[in-house]
Structure 1
Amino acid sequence: MKNYIVAVTTVLLMFFSCEKNKKETSVIKENKLVDYTSLVYPTLDTENSRWFFFSSASRPFGMVNLSPDNEIDGAWGSGYRYKTDTIKGFSHIHGWQISGVSVMPVTLSDANTDSVFKDFYSKFSHDNEVVTPGYHSLELERYHIKTELTSTTRVGFHKYTFPENTKNAVLFNLNTVLGPSDNAQGKLRQINKKEFVGSVVATPTHRRPKALKIFFKIELNASVNTLQKDEETGNYLMHFNNLKEPLLMKVAISYTSEENAQLNLKTELPHWDFETVVQDSKDHWNSLLSRIKVEGNTEKQHRRFYTDLWHALQGRRIISDVNGAYPDNTGAEFKIGQLPLDASGKPKFNHYNSDALWGAQWTLNTLWGLAYPDIYEEFAMSFLQYYKDGGLVPRGPSGGNYTYVMTGAPATPFFVSAIQKGILKENLEDIYDALKKNHLEGGIMEKAGYEHKTNIGGGLDFYMEKGFVPHPNPKGKFGGHQDGAGLTLEYAYQDWTLAQLALKLNKTEDYNYFMKRSKNYATLLNEEGWMQPKNIKGQWQKEYSPYNYEEGFIESNGAQSTWFVPHDYEGLAELMGGKKEAVEKLNTQFKEAEQLNFTSGTSHASELHPEYRKIPINYGNQPSIQTAFIFNKLGRPDLTQYWSRKVTSKVFGGLSPSTGYNGDEDQGLMGSLAVLMKIGLFQVNGGTEGNPEYQIGSPIFDKVTIQLHSDYYTGETLQIKMTNNRASNSGVNKAIFNNKEIEMFTISHKELVNGGVLELFMEK
C-alpha cells in the first residue's frame, strides 16, 4: 500500500482583491493554481474548542500537533481558546485523550529568576499572531519573544527570537496538568551542549485506562549553558548565553523509545532550514486540500469550505514511528508492536490514535471513500492491527489501547463501506470474522461508553433475547451512554451493515440472522410514530416526551433519534402510515428546528439547555445529521435539496472564532459533513449496500472537481457542474451524468468513480 502522503506540484498563492465596501465576489477562477492553505481559517469555532480540536503547526494526522495552549485543565474547554489572552505553554501532543511535552521560552531577570518555574505565563495579542496550516507565530508580550512553530509528522520545530541583551531560557513544563490528563514523572537528560533526551508519562484518564509513556529527543542550534532542575516542580530550565540569532529547537517524540524518537528526528528533519519545513508543510496540506476544487460562490464560502476540509483531515493522530514501531497497550503488559514492512523496509501503513467512529457512516465513510481512499485504507489497516493485538476491532483507540468511547460497533459500517467501494479487497473473510465478533457476546457491542471492566452496560444480551435494550438497564450502571433505545437503534443499523457483508461473502445463515436483528428498531416505534424506550418488562417509558434529552437516547432526544434507521427508511415510513405521513412528520420537524437554526445552541455543552434540548433536529451532534437526505429516500428529493441547502447556510456558513460547528466536532466528523453537504453528495446508509448509492443534494458551488485516486479508481476526475446556481435556487430540476439523465436523484459509487461530469440544472 502506498502512503497517503503524496508528492505535490508547485502551488502558487492567489491574490484576492476585494475592497471592504464591495460585495463579495467569486474568487476562484479556472486555470489558476491556488494555495489552499491560505483559504483555511484555523481559528474557526475556537471559542468553543476542546483539547484535540485545534491544530496549527501540524501535518495531516501528525504524531506531533504543536500549538499554543491558553487553557490546560481538562479535555473540554482546553487547548487553544480564542478569547483567552494568556499563553501557558506550547505543547506537542493534542490527541484523543493524550497530551504531552509542554515548553515555554522565557527571559530571566532579578524579578523572576526564583519564581519562573511557577510563574511563567504570558499575555499575547491576536494582532501579532499568524496561524495557517503547518505554521503558528505569536509574540509573548511578557518577554517580547517572537515564537514561531512548524513541524514534520513526528518532529516539532520551534524558532524563538529573543530581545537583545536579555537572559534567555526555555522551560520544560513536564510535570503538569495538560489537557485530558496529568503529565508526570517528567525527566530530561543532557547528552551534550545541544542534545537532550527525555520522557514524560501521560497518566490514565477515565476514558484511557492505562498510562502512556512519551519519549522525546531535543536538538538545538545553540549551546545550552546550564540545565537547571527545580526540585519542587520537577521541571527543567535550559539557560543560554546572550543569543544573538534566533534559537532553533527540534523536538521529536515517540511512544516506544528514546532511540525511536532519535530515529524519527534524523529521518524527518536532518537539516535546520525552518522556512523549508514551513513550505513543506504547506505543500503537504495543499496536496490533500487540492483533491477537491470548488469554483463559484464567494471568497467567504471558499474559505469556509477549505476550513471544513482541513478539519476532515486532522484530529486523529499517528502513534507509530518511522520504522513501524508502536505502543501496544491492549494486553496485560505494555509491549512495543511492529507494523508489517514492505519490500523496501518501510511500514505498509501508519498506526493511529482515534476518537470514536460514531457518526462516521455519514461523514468519513463518504468523504474519505470518494476523495481519500488511501487514508481510508490506512485507518482500516490500523484498526485491524488492534484486532490482531487485542482481539477486538476498536471504536476509538487511545494510547495503543481500547477506550470503549461511545457505543455500539461503528467500525462495522466503516469497514463494510470500504469493502463495498473496493478500497479493501484482501482477507475479506478474516475481516468479516473480526467484525462479527463485535456483534456477539464478548464483543465491543456489549460495552457501553468507557466500560473498561465489565461487558454489561451495553445490554446486548437483552437485545438478542428481547429485540431491544431496556431502559434503564436493570443490571445497573456500568459505563456512559447506557441509553437503551439509542443502543437498540444503533445495533439494528450496524447489524444490517454486517448482513450486507455476509451477503457479499455468501454467508446465507449469517445474513438471515443479522437481517432479522436489523428489524429490531420497530419494537420501539409507538403509536404516535416516535421511538420510545421500553423497560425490562417491555412497558413503554412513563411520562414520555419525544423532546426529553438523553432519557433513553444517546446525546439526543426521541424526536431526533426516531429517524436513526439508516438502513430501512421505507420500512420505517410504512410503520408510520406511509411515505406521505413520514414526509409530513419530518418536514414539520425541520420547520420547528429552523427556529433554532437547526442546532442545540453553539456548543456541545448547550445541548442540555432547557430550550435547546427540545430541538427536533440537531445538526450540532451526530445522531440526526442524516435527516435532510431522508426525504430523498421517501420520494421527495426536492425537500432534501431545500433543507440541505438551508442547513448548510445556517449551520456551516459562518466564519468566526465564536461559532462554526455548533456542537460536537469529533475530530473531523462535522467538517466532513459540511463538505459533503456543500458538494451535494451524501450516503444515508453510510455506503454499505452492494453498490453504494449517493443521494444528490444541492451544491453551493458552480463547479466542484474531485481528483480520483488512480490506485483505487479508474476515473481521473469527477466534476459536478451547476447551471442557474444562486442562493435562491436550491431545487434541482434535472440531473445528468455523462449525458444520461438520472432517475430519483441518486447515483452509484461505481458510476461516480469511473469519472465524468454530473450536471445539475437548478430551478429558475
Structure 2
Amino acid sequence: MFDRFIPVLLLSSITLFAAGDPSRHVNVFIGTGGHGHTYPGATLPHGMVQLSPDTFDSGWDWCSGYHYSDSSIMGFSHTHLSGTGVGDLLDVLVMPGTGPAKTEPGTRENPEQGYRSRFSHQDETAVPGYYSVLLKDYNIKAELTATERAGFHKYTFPASDSSHFIVDLAHANGGPQRVTEAELKFVGDSTVTGGRRVNGWAKGRYIYFAMKFSKPFGRSEIVADGKTLDAALREAKGRSVKALVHFKTTAGEVIQVKVGLSAVSVEGAMKNLETEIPDWDFAKVEAKAKESWRKELSRAAIETKDEKRAQVFYTALYHTMLAPTLFDDVDGQYRGMDNAVHTMKAGEHNYSTFSLWDTYRALHPLYTLMQQDRLPGLLNCLIRMGEESPAGVPIWPLQGRETFCMTGYHSAPVIAEAMMKGIQGVDYERAYAKLYQRAMVDDYRGLGYYRKLGYIPSDKEEESATKTLEYSYDAWSVAQIARELGKMGEYEKLLGQAGNYRNLWDKSTGFVRPRLENGEWAGPFDPKTTGVSKKWRDYTEANSWQATWGAQQDPKGYINLLGGRQAFIDKLDALFAQSTETVGEKVADMTGLVGQYAHGNEPSHHIAYLYSYGGAPYKTQERVRYLLDHLYGNTPDDGVSGNEDCGQMSAWYVISALGFYAVDPASANYVFGTPLFDRATIDMGAGRKLVVEAVRKSADDKYIQSVTLNGKPYEKAWFPHSAIADGGKIVFRMGAEPNKQFASAVEAAPPSMTK
C-alpha cells in the first residue's frame, strides 16, 4: 500500500535522488506501528505545531497519540511527541461530525459510543506537511497542514442539518485527569479561544490557543465539568471544558479551521495565527509546508538503485527534523523554564523538546554537518534554559518545564562538540559556568557521591552504574570546553572525574557492575539483568552487557582494562554472540537485540564502531551494515527497532549510511563505518559540500579496501571534523571480502582519553 504515498521510480540505470523533490521518498508512516512511537500528521521542520490524528490517549505505544494498529480516530490535536518513551501533549483536540453531537470520545472497541470515527488506511494519505483521511462514520474528508505556530484544517462535509465540531480541552496524553485547569471563550460567531494547564510528564505546563472557523456557527454551546451550560454563557472555566459548534452543510461543503498556539497567552496565539495564516487559502499553506520540507530534505542528495533504502534514508532524515521544536511567538515572547514570560532579541528563537540523553549521540553530530545555520539558536537556547531553570542545566526540557527524564546532564557533550567543531555564535563562557557548576558543585542525583567516592553507590542511588558512566562522559565533555577556554586547572580536575568509570570495573568479570558505599561489589551479579537490587535498577534501560561500554571517551582504556586489543575484540564478539534472552526484569526499551546489543535503545548505538579502536575495522563494517539492513525498514512496524526518540534512531541511520559515526561527539572526531550509497552529497551551508563516494562492483560490497580523504590516501580508522569543516570529499573503495590490514595498526586507531 505504500506505493500510494511514495511512488517507486523505475529506471534502467542508476536512480538519481540528487535532483527533484526528495520528500517523495518519505514514508511518514514508518515507525507509527511497532514501538516506534511516531505520528503521521502535518508539521514543519522543527515546528511548534504538530497537527496529527489521535487514535488513543494512554499507554506506552500511544506516546505520540497514534498507533497504526488502530481503526478509529478520536480527533486531531495540535501537539505531538515524535518517538518518545513517555507520553504528553495532544493539545486542543478538534473533531468534526454529523448527527447527534457527543462530548466523550468513546472507546477503540466501540467508537460509536462517542465522537470517534472509524477509518481505513486505504483512505489515509500523508506526505511531509500534509495529512488526509476519510472519517467513515461521518463521511467527512479531513485534511491537515501547518505553519510553524498554527494548524490549518480543511473538512469536506456531506449534506447534513446536524454537522458540528467538538473542541475538547480535556483530551490529553495520559487521560483527562492530567488537565488541572482549562478555560474557553466564544468570540463573535466564528472564533473560539482558550487555554489550559496540564500536569503530565512536563508538570504544570501552559498552552493557549486561538481558533477561527471559516463559517459562522449556527449555534454554539459549552460543556464544563460534565454540565451543558446555558446557551447565553459564552465562556467557562473548569478542569474539563469542551465546546460544541453546529452548522448546516450542503454536499461537498468545505469548512476550514485555523488554530494558533502559544505558551504565553491567548493574545499571543491570536497574533501567531493572524501572522502566519492571514487568509483562508489552504492550498497555499499546504504548498508552502511541502516546499519547506523539500528545501530541508534537499540538504542531502543520495544516489542508489534501491528505492527501499531511499525511503528509509529520507524518512529518517525527515524524523531528525521533528524535534527540537520551536517554542516562541512571532513577537519574540516565550515562556521560560522559570515559568516567567521573556522576550527574545530580534532574529533569535526559543525551543522545546530536547531529548538530550538520546540525541547527543547522533542527532546533534548530524546537525553539525547539516544544520549549522540552526545550531547556534539551539545551543543558546540550552544555555538560556540552564540560567532560567531552578533545576540548572537542561536534562529533558519540554514546553517550559523540566521533566528530569533520564540520567546524566547531556547538554554538556552537545555544547562541547559544537565548540570543538568551531560552531560560531554561541556564548561558550556562559555555557561553561553552568556546566562546571553541575559537574563540580551541584549535589544532583548522586553527583555528591560521585565526587566523594569516585562512583555512585548502588545502595544509595538508583541506576548508579549508568550514572557513574554517564557522569564520567559528561565530565570529559565539560573538560573539553575548559581546555578550549584556557582553564587548565579546572580541565585537569574534570579530566580526573572523566576516568571514574574505572572504579566500577570488575576485573574478575570483565564488566562494569554496581558497587556498595563500603566499596564491596553488590551481588549476586548477572550481566543480563538490569541490576542487583530489588529496590531499583542499577542500569538505565539496559543491562551490564550494554552499559559497560558507556565511557565513550575512552575505548583505549577498556582495551587496557581487558588486557589488550584481542581481548577487547573478543569481548565485543561475545556481546553480539550472546542469546537475546535477558534475566529478571523485562524492559520494554531493550529492543532490536543482536545478541545482547540492543539497537532499539541508545546506550548501544556507538558499540559496533568500537572494533576500530581494537584494530578490527572490518568487524565494524560487518556489524554496521547488518544493522543498517536489518534494524530499519520501510513499513510502520519494522521501520525502527525501538522508540524513535526525537530523531536519534533515525540520525544513527543517516550518519551511519554516510560511512562514519561520532563515537565520542565531544572529541569532534568520526570513526569510519561502511557507506551505504554509491554517492551522497551533504550541503553543509555557506557553499560547502561534503561528498562521499563508494566505488564498488556490487551493492553487497561492504568492506573498505582503501580510503582517500580530500584527494589523498588515508590509512586511519577515523578522521577529525576539521578535515571536512570547509567541505570535502571521501572516496571509499569497497570489496566483497574484508581488508584486514586497513587501519588495523595501533597508530591508525581513533584517539581516546587514554593515550
Residue 621 of structure 1 and its aligned partner are, at CA, apart by 0.4
The answer for the alignment partner of 2:332 in structure 1 is: 324
Of 753, 756, 760 in structure 1, the residue corresponding to residue 725 of structure 2 is: 753
Over 3 Å counting, the alpha-carbon distance change for 1:57 and 1:731 in structure 2 is same
1:617 aligned residue: 597
Contact residue 50 and residue 77 of structure 1 kept, 8 A: no
2:420 aligned residue: 420
The equivalent residue for 1:260 is 268
Q: 1:488 corresponds to which letter in structure 2?
A: T
CA contact (8 A) 2:35 2:643 kept: no
Q: Give 1:102's match in structure 2, choosing from 93, 104, 123.
A: 93
TM-aligned CA deviation for residue 725 of structure 1: 5.6
Q: Which residue does 2:51 correspond to in 1?
A: 66
Task: Select 2:185's aligned residue among 167, 186, 189.
Answer: 189
Post-superposition Cα deviations, 1:458-491, rounded to whole Å, max 9, x if no partner, equal: 2111111111101131xx6xxxxx2111111111
Per-residue deviation at 1:745?
2.9
In structure 2, what is the Cα distance between the partners aligned to 1:604 and 1:355? 23
Tell me how far apart the structure 1 counterparts of residues 102 and 379 of structure 2 sit (CA, whole Å).
51
- Structure 1 SS opposite 2:646: coil
The letter for the 2-side match of 1:557 is: N
The 1-side partners of 2:593 and 2:688 are apart by 45
Deviation at 1:243, TM superposition (A): 4.5
Q: Matches of 2:141 and 2:426 in 1, distance apart?
A: 51
Q: 1:180 to 1:230 in 2, by over 3 A?
A: closer
d(CA) in 1 for partners of 2:209 and 2:555? 52
Matched residue count = 695
1:343-362 equivalent positions in 2, closer than 5 A: 347-348=347-348, 350-362=349-361
Cα separation, 2, equivalents of 1:592 and 1:116: 46
For residue 724 of structure 1, the aligned residue among 647, 671, 696 is 696
Distance 1:335 1:193 in 2: 33
Could you tell me which residue of structure 2 aligns to residue 390 of structure 1?
389
What's the offset of the Cα at 1:68?
Answer: 0.6
2:352–2:399 CA contact under 8 A, matched in 1: yes
Identify the residue that residue 434 of structure 1 maps to in structure 2. Answer: 434
Choose the corresponding residue for 1:336, options 333, 341, 361.
341
Q: Give CA-to-partner distance per residue, 1:396-436, whole Å, 9 cap, x none.
A: 11231222111111000000001111114553222211211
Q: Give secondary structure in 2 for the equivalent of 1:674.
A: helix
* Cα distance, 1:276–1:604 mapped onto 2, change above 3 Å: farther
**Secondary structure, counterpart of 1:44 in structure 2:** coil
Matches within 5 A, 1:517-556: 517-527=497-507, 528-550=509-531, 551-556=537-542
Q: Which residue of 1 aligns with 2:663?
A: 684
Shift of 1:356: 2.8
Report the CA distance between 1:613 and its aligned residue.
8.5
CA contact (8 A) 1:147 1:159 kept: yes
| Equivalent-residue separation in structure 2 for 1:646 and 1:224 (angstroms) | 57
For 1:115 and 1:571, locate their aligned partners in 2 and report how far apart those are by CA, in whole Å.
Answer: 59
In 2, Cα distance between equivalents of 1:29 and 1:425:
36
Task: Look up the match of 1:565.
Answer: 551
The alpha-carbon deviation at position 57 of structure 1 amounts to 0.9
| 2:362 matches 1:371 | no
Which residue matches 1:454? none
CA contact (8 A) 2:35 2:637 kept: no
Using the TM superposition, name which of 483-492 and 725-734 deviates more: 725-734
Question: Aligned partners of 2:209, 2:638: CA distance in 1, in Å?
Answer: 36
Q: Which runs of 5+ in 2 are unaligned?
A: 82-86, 107-112, 228-240, 532-536, 737-755
Structure 1 moving runs of 4+ over 6 Å: 24-27, 113-118
1:297–1:700 CA contact under 8 A, matched in 2: no
**C-alpha deviation, 1:757, in angstroms:** 1.8
**Who is 1:461 aligned against?**
448
- 1:164 maps onto 2:164 in alignment: no
- For 2:73, give the aligned amino acid: I
Residues 36 and 641, structure 2, Cα contact 8 Å, conserved in 1: no
Amino acid of the residue matched to residue 427 of structure 1?
Answer: D
Following superposition, the deviation at residue 329 of structure 1 comes to: 4.4
- Deviation, structure 1 residue 614: 10
Report what 2:202 is aligned to. Answer: 208
Letter of the 1:524 counterpart:
L
Question: Which of 470, 473, 490 matches 2:457?
Answer: 470
Question: For the structure 1 residues 574 and 329, does the alpha-carbon distance in structure 2 shift closer, same or farther, using more than 3 Å as the test?
Answer: closer
Q: How far is 1:17 from its partner? A: 4.3
Task: Confirm whether residue 699 of structure 1 aligns to residue 675 of structure 2.
Answer: yes
Task: Give, in whole Å, the separation in 2 of the partners of 1:655 and 1:592.
Answer: 28
TM-score (normalizing by structure 1): 0.86
| Structure 1 residue aligned with 2:411 | 411
Residue number in structure 1 paired with 2:608: 628
Cα distance change on mapping 1:282 and 1:511 into 2, 3 Å: same
Q: Which residue of 1 aligns with 2:123?
A: 128
Alpha-carbon distance in structure 2 between the residues aligned to 1:167 and 1:666:
42
Distance 2:314 2:138 in 1: 35
Distance 2:105 2:485 in 1: 64
Q: Which amino acid aligns with 2:34?
A: N
1:306 equivalent to 2:335? Answer no
Provide the secondary structure at the position in 1 that maps to 2:511: coil
Contact 2:103/2:242 (CA < 8 Å) preserved in 1? no
Q: What is the TM-score of this pair, normalised by structure 2?
A: 0.87
Q: Residue deviations 1:730-758, cap 9 Å, x none? A: 11000001220112132221111222321
CA deviation string 1:182-234 (max 9, x = no partner): 345433322222223222222x12x423x223211112221111111234263
What is the RMSD computed on CA atoms of the aligned residues?
2.5
**C-alpha distance in 2 between matches for 1:166 and 1:733:** 72
**Counterpart amino acid of 1:293?**
A
- Give, in whole Å, the separation in 2 of the partners of 1:625 and 1:587: 16
Contact 1:68 1:88 in 2 (8 A): yes
User: How far has the Cα of 1:180 moved from its partner?
Assistant: 7.1
Instruction: Tell me: CA distance 1:306–1:663, structure 2 relative to 1, closer, same or farther (3 Å).
Output: same
Task: Tell me if the contact between 1:176 and 1:184 (Cα under 8 Å) persists in the aligned partners.
Answer: no
Aligned residue number for residue 399 of structure 2: 399
Are residues 563 and 428 of structure 1, via their aligned partners in 2, closer, same or farther at CA, if it must alter by over 3 Å? same
Aligned counterpart, 1:142: 137
Answer whether contact 1:471 1:485 (CA < 8 A) is retained: yes
| Aligned twin of 1:450 | none
The residue matched to 1:93 in structure 2 has which SS?
A: coil
CA deviations on 1:626-663 (whole Å, 9 max, x unpaired) are 011111122221111111111111112x1111122222
Secondary structure of 2:590's match? helix
Say which SS state the counterpart of residue 230 (structure 1) adopts: strand
Q: CA 1:489 to 1:753, structure 2 compared with 1: closer, same or farther past 3 Å?
A: same
Query: In the TM superposition, what is the alpha-carbon distance from 1:604 to its structure 2 partner?
Result: 6.8
Contact 1:27 1:298 in 2 (8 A): no
Range with greater deviation from structure 2 (177-186 or 160-169): 177-186
**Structure 1 residue identity aligned to 2:244:** L
**Alignment check: 8 A CA contact 2:577 2:595 kept:** no
Q: CA deviation at 1:289?
A: 0.9
What is the percent sequence identity of the aligned residues?
A: 28
Provide the rounded CA distance (Å) in 2 between the counterparts of 1:114 and 1:734.
Answer: 66
* 2:744 matched residue in structure 1: none
CA contact (8 A) 2:449 2:456 kept: yes
